[in-house]
Amino acid sequence: MLYHNKNDRNRRSDVSRETKKLSMEEMLGKYKLHSNENLDELVKTDEVKLSKEINDKNCALRQLEGQDLEGLAIDELEHLENLLQGGLSRVLQTKDEKLKNEIFNLQLKGARLMEENKLLKEQA
């Protein structure tokens, strides 16, 4: 671009800066607008996904409780049966361990009481 004088060059430079400034402000405004729209869409998408996940988990829980089984195929029922058997096995194992610990602790307590009783008889 050819400039006729220094003032002309400065005016054009100022206009160019103003245009760039407005363009940048406009771009930022558009970006913010689209960002908010995208954020709203993401939030709605997440809400839909989470709602579906909650419904799926509630359905699975009802099935584990023995409800809503009518629509399940045989392989789905077998899978549910295996899950329940595995869970029951772990429950029984934990129960057995606790009962064994309780029996052991009661045997120790019984032995201490017998020892105390023996000492009391010797003192009498």
Residue 124: predicted pLDDT: 77
**Same-domain check for residues 10 and 34:** yes
**Same-domain check for residues 36 and 84:** no
Give the C-alpha separation, 68 to 59, whole Å.
8
What total number of domains does the chain contain? 2
Question: Which residue segment(s) compose the domain that 46 sits in?
Answer: 1-68
Residue holding tokens 């409780």? 65
**Same-domain check for residues 40 and 100:** no
Domain end among 68, 89, 114: 68
**Same-domain check for residues 53 and 80:** no
- Is this structure's pTM higher than 0.85? no
Q: Are 1 and 15 in contact (CB under 8 A)?
A: no
| Phi-psi group of 68: left, alpha or beta (phi > 0 → left; psi -120 to 50 → alpha; rest → beta) | left
Kindly give the confidence (pLDDT) of every residue in the chain, 124 residues in length, as a single tens digit, with 9 standing for 90 and above.
444 555 555 555 555 555 555 677 777 777 777 777 777 787 888 899 999 999 999 999 999 999 999 999 999 999 999 999 999 999 999 999 999 999 999 999 999 999 999 999 999 7
